[in-house]
Amino acid sequence: MLVRRLATVTASLLVALGLGSAPAEAGVAVPVDCSHRTVELRWDDVTYDLDGTCGVVRVLADDVVARIPTATRVVVRGHGNTVVTKSVDTLVVRGRQQEVRPTAARVLRVASPRTTVEVAGLVESARLGGRRTTLTADRVYAVRTPGAHNTLRTGRGYDASVGGDGNTLRYRRLDSLVVTGDDNSVGVRHGGTTVRDAGRGNRIRVQRH
C-alpha cells in the first residue's frame, strides 16, 4: 500500500509540474489538476482522474483510462484509450481503436478507425472522416461523413451529408439528406425528409415531404 501511495503522489506531482514521461505502475490512478492550463497525458497503461474546469486536454498515450470533467477542447490520440468526459466544446478523436463517452459536444471530429463514440446528449456538428467508426447520440443536428463504413445511430437530426462510401445512418427524424457517395444505407423512421441522392447503389428509406 505504501508503494502504491508513493507512486500516486509522485505521478501527480510530475503531471502537475508538466514534466516528461516517467515509469508508472499499471492500475494506479493519477490525479491531475487541469484548471487554467493545457494538460497532456503521456503515460501508457494509466488511469487519469482530472479535476477542475479544463481548458485543453490532449490524450497522447496508449491504453489509458481518462476521466475528464467539462473541457474546452479534448484531443485523443494514441490507440486503445477509454475517455469519459462531461460536456466538451470541441472533441477531436484520432489514433485508432478509441472508446470515447462524452455527455455532450458542440463540435465532434472523428478520424480514428475502429472507434466507438457514445454521446449521452447532443452533438451540434459531427464529422466522421475515418473508417468503421460507430457514433451513437441522442441528437446530432448536423453530420458530414466523408469516411467509409461508418455507423451513426441517433434520434433527431437536421442536416446529413454523406460523401463517403458504405456508411450506415439511422435516424428517428431527419429534415435534410444529401448523399454523394456510393453504397450507403440511410433510414429515417418518422417525419418528412428532403433527399438528394447523387451517388450509386445507395439504399435510402425515408418519408419524403
Cell numbers for 84 = 469519459
DSSP state of 6: H
Q: Across residues 31-35, what is the average pLDDT?
A: 92
CB 67 within 8 A of CB 48: yes
Instruction: Give the span between the Cα atoms of 22 and 19, in whole angstroms.
Output: 9
Q: What is the DSSP string of 32-77?
A: EE-BTS-EEE--SS-EEEEES-EEEEEE-SSS-EEEE-SEEEEEE-
**For range 90-99, the mean pLDDT:** 97
Summarised one tens digit per residue, pLDDT across range 111-142 is: 999 999 999 999 999 999 999 999 999 999 99
Given a cut of 90, whether residue 18 has pLDDT beyond it is no
Q: Model confidence over 140-156: pLDDT tens digits? A: 999 999 999 999 999 99
Q: Which residues, 6+ apart, have CB-to-CB distance to 64 below 8 Å?
A: 41, 43, 44, 45, 46, 47, 48, 78, 81, 82
